[in-house]
A and B are shown apart, each in its own frame.
Chain A
Amino acid sequence: MKPKAILIDTKDNVATAFQELAKGETVTVSLAGTEVTTVLTQDIPFGHKFALSAIGLHEPVVKYGETIGLATDSILAGRHVHVHNMESQKGRGDK
């Protein structure tokens, strides 16, 4: 069956859309006994991430079980997570 989205590690607080997903859609991802259901509050383009739970300002965004950056805004579950609300902690010669 074609999955709507994928959870890569049970520690992750984001999932990755495997289809074009629309605002209002209910998406369930599961991995190794962990199952998370999220109602999307925004359209999520194919390949992009959405929050599975609330992520507070400056809190880590976790994918692959690893921190991939920090939230630059408070992000509610179901929101699109990308360059507009998270940022890298690496390679920041500008900071």
Chain B
Amino acid sequence: MEFQGYLRQDGSVGVRNTVALIPASRCANEMACRIADEAGAGVHPLLHNQPCVHVGPDNVMARRVLTGMGQNPNTVAAIVLGIGCDPISAVDIANDIAATGKPVEVLTIEKEGDYDTVVSKGITFAKQMKANAALLSRQPFDLSHIKLAVKCGGSDTTSALGCNPVAGWVVDQIVNAGGTCVFSETAELVGAEHILARRATDPAVGQKVLDAVARTDKRILDAGVDILGSEPTPGNIKGGLTSIEEKSLGAIAKSGTVPLTDVIEWGQKLPGPGLFFMDGSANTPQMVLGLSASGAQMMTFGFGGGLPASFRSMPANSMGNLAILPVLKILSSPKAAREIPYFDVYAGGIIEGTETVAQVGQRLLEEILQVLSGKPTKVELRPRYREVLEMWRLGPVF
């Protein structure tokens, strides 16, 4: 089994050729949009909310993420845009991205003198980068070159038996073939952390899982709140999920059965082959940002049958806006069967007793290989919406 991808200078394999416009801070978002509007298809602003009032570790995380999005193999070339007084220097971000060998430009108002010059130079650079990218051709790669992110959302009790074990079946195939898979959302490990920790071959890694959940637990306890209503969400509860333990036990099915290789930090680059857990936010606009920065080439997104299954192209789940992380949607619940045309893979046959997890898993793997080879997902075919993604933040804001 193989897919067709683009070999990058650093040895990574891209599956899309996105010219990425990366704002160094939220103040540069508008310039990125202006340039993208003029430069046209293939040029995408990666908008986010990084302000200049975050402190210490939150800025370290943000720098990692901004750099990581530029280093993502789907970014064929990048333009880093800044004001000049951005808390994370546009030049530093550009230098870190350039280390991968891909074309990078940096434009700041401070250096160029004014806003209009940044925009007009940006348009020229972006069009040139797009033209150069059009000359690149795909070549075959085996499963060991896959870096897949897996996520679930709009969960109900069918998720644990449909989309999640199906994604898990694919994770097992990819990891056993020497590839890489990553999943995240620490709050959705609460109550299932002991099971994931047992899957770590190295006890120190198992401890990292327990520690990550303990930190999340502490945040809940410090806040003096019941997580019910947030985890599980009101929609989850309507779908039959009663407690975070029940949701977590279903959610980890998407990580398959292979051993856990390591726990990485939010936005950290995937360090090698295997299965990784990213300690991070369960808030989708934050989670997607972290996973894209890890170097994942695409993400599967498994749905239950609640209202989110009927979102179609609605960007509320950050499914349509990040060009460097194509999203493939899986539907679990036969109750939402009228939504099948809006999903890439239907797993409801498992619930109806007409298909097995392995049968749907095989179909999912084949679809993933096609998407990696350039086939647009259902989400990619819809008009893009430029949602401003969010930095994960643990410290105070001033």
Contacts and interface: CB of A to CB of B under 8 A. Distances in A.
**Do A and B originate from a single complex?**
yes
A3 B351 CA distance: 8
Q: Main SS of the interface on chain B?
A: loop
Interface string B169-213: 000000000000000000100111001000000000000000000
Nearest to A87: B243
B245 interface: yes
Interface of B: 156-158, 160-161, 187, 190-192, 195, 217, 220-228, 231, 237, 239-240, 242-246, 249-250, 304-305, 333, 335, 351-353
A28 B119 CA distance: 67
Interface of A: 1-3, 6, 8, 16-18, 45-49, 61, 63-64, 66-69, 81-83, 86-95
B157 A68 contact: no
Given A1-B353, A93-B223, A94-B225, A48 B191 contact: no
B191 A90 contact: yes
A68 B223 contact: no
- The SS class assigned to the A binding surface is loop
A66 B249 contact: yes
A90 B239 CA distance: 20
Given A18-B351, A68-B191, A86 B157 contact: no
Given A47-B305, A63-B249, A69-B245, 10 more contacts: A16-B157, A16-B161, A47-B157, A48-B157, A66-B192, A82-B242, A88-B226, A88-B244, A93-B220, A94-B225
Contacts of B158: 47
B352 A67 contact: no
Contacts of B237: 82-83
B240 A45 contact: yes
Contacts of B304: 47
